[in-house]
A and B are shown apart, each in its own frame.
Chain A
Amino acid sequence: MQKYFHSVKLDEQKCKGCTNCIKHCPTEAIRVREGKARIIEERCIDCGECIRVCPNQAKLALTDGLEKLQGYDYKIALPAPSFYGQFKPEVSPSSVLGALLEIGFDDIFEVPVAAEAVSRAISAHLQQEHPRPSISSACPAVVRLMQVRFPALLEHLVPMESPMEIAGRLARERAVREKGLPPEKIGVFFITPCPAKVTAVKQPFGGSSSVDGAISMTEIYGRVLRRLEGRPVRTIDPQSSGLGIGWGSAGGENEAVKTGSLLAVDGIHSVIGVLEEIERGGLDDIDYLEAQACTGGCIGGPLVPQNPFVVRVRMRNLVKKHGSRSKAEFPGNLDFYRLQAPIRPRPVLKLADDVELALTRLEEAEKIAAELPGLDCGSCGSPSCRALAEDIVQGYAQRSYCIFELRQRLQILAAEMVELSHKPPPAMGREWKQSREGGGHNG
């Protein structure tokens, strides 16, 4: 059985073996081998950076198709907060939600409603004793980044489920209650802005997910748009408040949590910078850190159809329009929101399971890295000279993969061959020398 599920996949046909993706991966999870990019499953956090930078569209996000709806009697769509900002201002959210009912869903449950509920739970949590800063657990790519690169900070994560999980749970409960259906006949589908959420559904942190599938926002967007252009659709009054919708763009989560001193950071490489600072013992004057892997927040997700800068403005207007309190009621019991299981480290960066052996390999890698050219060109298929050295000591690569070293060795070899060619065997003494000199005169 596959140990890790990943939404991020490679299209072998399209991959040219260029090195764009390996250099942008925040966990150095990609190598180029035999002319194709290979993802190291243990390291990949499904952030989708490689999807963004691939010039050949060879990286893709595996999502569920709409055909998966057919396995259920009653299908509920969970639109993410970022979905609301994808449409022009003249398209009302009520008709967008209504259109979802005409492309195959029987009901909707708005994730922003759950986001508002989760905000309150986080706020209550922050009023109790907590590590400073507490870190948001809403972005699954950030959580997985921490499992791999910042395991010591996992205790800072707010032990609350994401708005998606809470929405899924509330949606199913409502359908059971109101429709009298058995839970397994109800299909709950998240409209996702990113591959990280797909993985969060397929391989949840807490062992099980309340969501049955995740469908790409781009796909749903296209269908809704086409439907809206046809005859008028039904309308559904949105229950969401501006606070919940705001979660879709950077800073919105803090706006809704609004407790103590808050810091928001977006973009995976900026997130790494802030987490490093926390690891050094800094930022203990901050109560809560909102951290999102995508620049701009979820509206910057790899599966979001519209330009994030345009969407940001629309989101801001929606937030204003929808006020600060939703019409919905949600459970007040804090335990309802708590993560089912603690989030464990994924120590996949180590060079060996045994510390002694790892240290021996590390010394070897240091030596090799010092001898490599240090250009970090990526032609060897590893993201940097340093990474190549680490790959070599683990037996995943060879010294000859470095094209500069290879060229240098070829040059030496060539020089030796020339030198050798000037050393005639004694039996070929004079005649051979004459013929060479004669040739020179003729030339």
Chain B
Amino acid sequence: MQMQFAVAGMDFGRAGDATARIKKTLQLAGMEASTIRKVVIVAYEAELNIVIHAYRGTLSATVSPEQVKIEAVDEGPGINDIALAMQEGYSTAPPHIREMGFGAGMGLPNIRKNADKLNIQSEINHGTRLTAVVYNHQKLG
């Protein structure tokens, strides 16, 4: 099953709404608690990246019994150096965003920590496409 949500840049009031909907879906589907936790972190950081850095974008989740795929596609400035952005603490967020407690440079590192697969494609002045997969490891026994 697939679901998709529009995410608006700078709309901090609603940041996290799409993630909350995805979480509810995974609970209703009966996915493992550990899977849900990882997906929630990945989806929220991806959603927040759109809110902080992009003009607009979409967050989508594709759910199957084996895995959850999170895709965040945005129109925005793009990422100049993806390897650098992956480093903990590296951030291009302006001071007023940091003052709100966001943009600490932990977004992409957190996504990488929680995703089993991660792919980021970015084009400067055009936008970014992030694809992350979390496997639903069934507990044995």
Contacts and interface: CB of A to CB of B under 8 A. Distances in A.
Interface in A124-159: 149, 151-154
Interface of B: 1, 3, 16, 19-20, 23, 25, 27-31, 33-34, 36-37, 40-41, 44-45, 63-65, 110, 136
A40 to B, nearest CB: 15
A382 to B, nearest CB: 14
Contacts of A354: 30
Contacts of B27: 149, 347, 349-350
Given A152-B37, A347-B33, A359 B1 contact: yes
Contact of B33 (A152, A355, A365): A152
Bin the interface of chain A by size: 20 to 34
A153 B41 CA distance: 13
A16 to B, nearest CB: 30
B28 A356 contact: no
Contacts of A154: 33
Contacts, number: 64
A351 B28 contact: yes
Contacts of A390: 28
A280 B30 contact: no
Given A281-B44, A355-B29, 15 more contacts: A152-B33, A152-B36, A154-B33, A279-B23, A281-B110, A350-B28, A351-B29, A351-B30, A354-B30, A355-B65, A358-B28, A359-B1, A359-B29, A359-B65, A362-B25
A354 B30 CA distance: 8
B29 A358 contact: yes
A280 B1 contact: no
Contact of A279 (B40, B45, B63): B40
A281 B41 contact: yes
A11 interface: no
Given A152-B36, A152-B37, A363-B1, A355 B25 contact: no
A280 B28 contact: no
